[in-house]
Amino acid sequence: MAKFIIKKYDQKDYSVWNDFVAQAKNATFLFHRDFMEYHKDSFEDFSLLVFEDKKLLAILPANKKENALHSHQGLTYGGLVYKEQTKQKVVIDIFREVLFFLNKNNLDKLYFKTLPSIYHLKPAEEILYSLFLAEAKLVRRDSLSVIDLQQEKTISKIRKRGLKKAISNELIIKEENQFELFWSKILIPNLEKTHHAAPVHSIDEINRLKSLFSENIHQFNIYKNDEIVGGTTIFETKNVAHCQYISKDPDKEDLGSLDYLFHYLINERFAEKRFFDFGISNENQGKNLNEGLTYWKESFGSSTIVHDFYEVDTANYTKLESILI
C-alpha cells in the first residue's frame, strides 16, 4: 500500500478543503463547504481528505448512510477531486487507498456519482478508469441536454415562432436578486400541481446560497405587463451555465415566454460560456425519459451528455494492487 493518510473531514479543515476545491481541475462551487453544509442536518457528513505526508492530494465529498458511503447525496454531482498535475497512477493508488480505508471501517459499499465531463476544467476521467479496474457496477445513467456554445447553434422552427410571439407580446426579461416571486407564484405551484413535489431548495435556502455565491447563482424572470409569467434559476460555473429550475405560468402558454428567455440566455447572457446545460429529463434512477421535455430541450439545439453513478464493493481494493505493467 502507498503511504497515504486518509482522514474524515473536520471543521478545522474548512480552509484547506475550500482552497483545494479552488485549485482542482474537476470541482465547482457546489463542493465548497458553505454550499455542502446549507442542509448539513439532513446528512451524516463523511467527506474524506487524502494526504501524502502533509500534502493534500485529493478530496471526496461524501456522506455515510448505514454501512455505505455515498458521494454526497445533497449534491447534484460528485466524485474524487484532484489537481491538474495528478497522474493516472496516483489516482488509481488514491482510489485503492480510499476503498481500503472504507473497508477497514466496515463500510461495505461506495456509491459513487461522477462529475459530468462538461464541468471538468481539463480532462479528468482518471477516476473512470480506476472505477473500471475496481469492477464498479453502473447503477444509474442520467442524460443531460447540453448545448456546445462554441459550435454553430441550431434552433427548431417552433422555437423561432415562439420567439417572434414573445417579441410581439412585448415580454420583459429581468435578472433579479430575489427569488420569492418566482418561487411563490410560479415554481412551487407548478411542482405541486405537476409532480406533487417541492423545490429541492426552500426559499430561505436559495436566498442564503445566493448571498454566499452571488457570482454563481442567478434568477431570471419574464414579465408581461409587470406580471411574472415564467423564469429560470441558473447555477454558473467556469465552463457551464446550468438550469437548476425552469418553470412558467401554465395559464399563459401562448406567450412564447421561455423561447424568449432562453434565446437571450444562450445567445447573449451566457454566450461566452463553453456549455449551456438544461439538466436531466430522467426519472426512476435514469430508467425513464420524459420524451416531451427532452424534445423541448433538443429544439433549442441541445444534445446528450451522460452522468453516471456507480456501486463499488470496498473489498475490491485488492483488484487495484497489481495492474501496472
pLDDT per residue as tens digits for the range 286-297: 999 999 999 999
Please give the radius of gyration of the chain, using alpha carbons only, rounded to the nearest integer. Answer: 21
Residue 284 identity (one-letter amino acid) = N
**Rounded distance between C-alpha atoms, residue 25 and residue 23, angstroms:** 7
What is the pLDDT averaged over residues 52-63? 96
Distance, CA of 274 to CA of 223 (rounded, Å): 28
Integer Cα distance of 71 and 275 in angstroms = 24
Give the percent of the chain with pLDDT over 70: 99
How many percent of the chain have pLDDT more than 90?
92
Confidence of residue 250 (pLDDT cuts 50, 70, 90): confident
pLDDT surpassing 90 at residue 253:
no
| pLDDT of 231 above 70 | yes
Considering only residues 154 and 142, tell me which one the structure prediction assigns the higher pLDDT: 142
Query: Phi, psi (5° rounding) for residue 231?
Result: 175, 175
C-alpha–C-alpha distance, residues 249 and 148, integer Å: 29
8 A C-beta contact, residue 305 and residue 116:
yes
Range scoring the smallest mean pLDDT among 85-89, 150-154, 184-188, 244-248: 150-154
Choose between 253 and 228: higher pLDDT: 228
**H helix or E strand, kind and range, residue 146:** strand 137-148
**Rounded Cα gap, residues 266 and 262, in angstroms:** 6
* Domains of the chain by start residue, with CATH: 4-141+308-320 (3.40.630.30), 151-273 (3.40.630.30)
Give the separation between CA 232 and CA 310, rounded to whole angstroms.
30
Q: What is the pLDDT of residue 2?
A: 53
- What secondary structure does DSSP assign to 273-315, as a single string? SSEEEEEE-EETTTTEE-HHHHHHHHTTT-EEEEEEEEEEEGG
